[in-house]
Structure 1
Amino acid sequence: MDKTTVIEMEAPPLPYYITTGHSVYMPGEQHPNRRSLGIFDLLWVMRGTLYIGEDDKQWEVSQGQTLLLLPDRYHYAAAPCRTETAFYWIHFDYHGKWSALDASASPSYPVRQTWANPYTLRLPQYAEPPQLAMAERHLRKMAANSGERRSAAYWSEQQLFMELLRLLEESLRGEGGGAPGAALAERTEAYLRQHYQSEVTNESLAEALHFHPNYIVRCMKEVYRCTPMEYLHEYRLEQAKLLLIKTEWPVAQIAEEVGFRYAPYFSSRFKQYAGMPPLRFRKQYSL
């Protein structure tokens, strides 16, 4: 199976579901040729094999496999179907920034700010997702909803669609995510966010995660473009922003709460990070 291409989508925004259909091709029939459709077309084969090309790539998409056709490419039938072939197709739109990358490339995630939760969807262009029976149930419901009132079907369709995208992403993670160390970097981030109020060092991090500290640092740099301690420092300051806005605690108490032992040092680093002292930052959000 060709596992070389991953489609990355920065969220928010999220992909937006449009519609689902079900098609059956008899032997000798084939997928229509189209150019620059303008929306994503996700094919999910339930029986038989589709022979599909996109620009200079070609795939054989068989039972249980998926193919994500991109909105700005030329799609064509590489060959007619040889057996009866049944598949679902999902049309969806995405108004954010997306890119097609080599699956072996390291994913790059930003450090999450206090009032933001950016995420990057990583969808394999060609995959064999798990739980085919569940996917087929979702697809059948989505296709049936096409005849329902829009107001009644909207939430069900969107939820089922996002669950299918989750299955696609899980299939990529099941193959190792395409980037060695990505899982460790995510574990490191989760540990730092959970323990940011405590004293954390590279050595204590290595002991908790059971990896050499140099390897943890390398993985974090590949994925988050910073060291664990740089991530920890920025996350503490982001939590301090939140406490300055949501509480009336004195600066010294906030500094201690987010893991800084000395209030003057905290104030200095906060000013360097936010461009203003903590109390001025609080004042700009006060009535």
Structure 2
Amino acid sequence: MPPIIEFTAPPLPHYIVSGLSALPVGGKHPSRKNIGAFDLLVAVRGCLYVGEEEREYEITEGHALILRPDSYHYAYEGCREESLHHWLHFQILGDWRVLDEEEYWSSRGRSHESDPQDYLSLHPFATTAYTLALPQFTRLAQQQKMAEIISELTEMNRHIHLPSVRLKQQALFQEVILLLSASLESDRPTPQSLCAERAASYLREHYREPFSAKKLGKAINFHPVYIARCMQKMFGCSPSVYLLRLRIDQSKLLLLQTDLPVERVAEEVGFNQAAYFTASFSRFEGMSPRKYRQRFAYNKS
């Protein structure tokens, strides 16, 4: 099983920088050694094939991998399809260690603390250290929320020269840490999560087609109402909204990696009307498709 990274706070993990990267077929995540910072990768679409030391990971949609600052990580295979992922560099300035899963859960079953009321009465002004654990590789419990937070952090980099923005980034980044920690507690699949994942998988394969709740239910053999309830719990949205976000994410790839007109991009990802595509893209991304291309096209690989 993937290792677990446990750290002592304070101090809290420190945000450095983040971004959104698109990789074409055959594209690879850069290979690096001892970069001095943790590198969080969150897949939006496609798959990254990344190894660290002797372990190899397939980072598919909704999964996250933390690459350690003291290790060699590398791409062991190029992308088999166009892929999109968030990346975020952060640092833990305090103590941290790597545990295997058995060791971690075993240590959680043992208590090393005395009565907290007794401690507070003896040390009323002391700073009490505590530990937090992050799964090195996990399926995110709230992948959409994670993507939204990292996107907001990346957008805030445009105003990084303002001290108030830097402080807001550090506060917002703690939500990333909490989401990663929460994923450790919810790694075991439930019937609801399995249903939601089957529905999501179907939508990923058929995102260009018109949406039909009835057709989706028939395809994966679940009632549409149950599917909607499971996806709301798993992804925080209905199947139709999940599909809309999927199309928007795919359109980002086309905007960054091709020179197709916006109208053609809309058609390629399943929108019947370019105006509806532009309105939907603007609502989710806070800017029009043309503005998005102008701002981020220089990052394309």
Q: Same fold (TM over 0.5)?
A: yes
* Bigger mean CA offset, 110-119 vs 23-32: 110-119
Distance 2:19 2:84 in 1: 11
After superposition, the C-alpha distances for 1:60-115 in whole angstroms (9 at most, x for unaligned) are 00001000000000010010011111111111111211111011212356425423
Which residue number corresponds to residue 83 of structure 1? 81
Instruction: Flag structure 2 segments of 5+ consecutive residues without an equivalent.
Output: 121-125, 189-301
Residue identity (%):
36
Select the residue among 152, 157, 166 that pairs with 1:154.
166
Equivalenced residues, count = 174
| SS across alignment from 1:10 | strand
| SS across alignment from 1:104 | helix
Which residue number corresponds to residue 69 of structure 1? 67
Q: Letter of the aligned partner of 2:63 in structure 1?
A: Q
Q: Letter of the aligned partner of 2:154 in structure 1?
A: A
Distance 1:39 1:110, change over 3 A: farther
Q: Letter of the aligned partner of 1:47 in structure 2?
A: R
Q: Which has a greater percent of helix?
A: 2
**Deviation, structure 1 residue 159:** 2.0
- Residue pairs, 1:260-279, within 5 angstroms: none
Which residue number corresponds to residue 174 of structure 1? 186
Q: Please say if residues 138 and 187 of structure 2, whose CA atoms lie closer than 8 Å, have aligned partners that are also in contact.
A: no
Instruction: Flag structure 1 segments of 5+ consecutive residues without an equivalent.
Output: 177-287
Q: Please say if residues 141 and 186 of structure 2, whose CA atoms lie closer than 8 Å, have aligned partners that are also in contact.
A: no
Which residue number corresponds to residue 18 of structure 1? 16
Which residue number corresponds to residue 136 of structure 1? 147
Distance 1:134 1:57 in 2: 28
Select the residue among 93, 97, 122 that pairs with 2:133.
122
Which residue number corresponds to residue 107 of structure 2? 107
**Deviation, structure 1 residue 11:** 0.9
TM-score normalised by L of structure 2: 0.55
Q: Please say if residues 139 and 187 of structure 2, whose CA atoms lie closer than 8 Å, have aligned partners that are also in contact.
A: no
Q: Please say if residues 22 and 89 of structure 1, whose CA atoms lie closer than 8 Å, have aligned partners that are also in contact.
A: yes
Distance 1:55 1:175 in 2: 23
| SS across alignment from 2:163 | helix
After superposition, the C-alpha distances for 1:22-61 in whole angstroms (9 at most, x for unaligned) are 1100001101110100111111111110000001110000
Q: Is residue 145 of structure 1 aligned with residue 143 of structure 2?
A: no
* Bigger mean CA offset, 54-63 vs 88-97: 88-97
| SS across alignment from 2:78 | coil
Which residue number corresponds to residue 277 of structure 1? none
After superposition, the C-alpha distances for 1:180-228 in whole angstroms (9 at most, x for unaligned) are xxxxxxxxxxxxxxxxxxxxxxxxxxxxxxxxxxxxxxxxxxxxxxxxx
Q: Which is greater in Rg?
A: 1
After superposition, the C-alpha distances for 1:119-159 in whole angstroms (9 at most, x for unaligned) are 11100000011121211111111111111033131122112
Which residue number corresponds to residue 242 of structure 1? none
Distance 1:129 1:85 in 2: 18
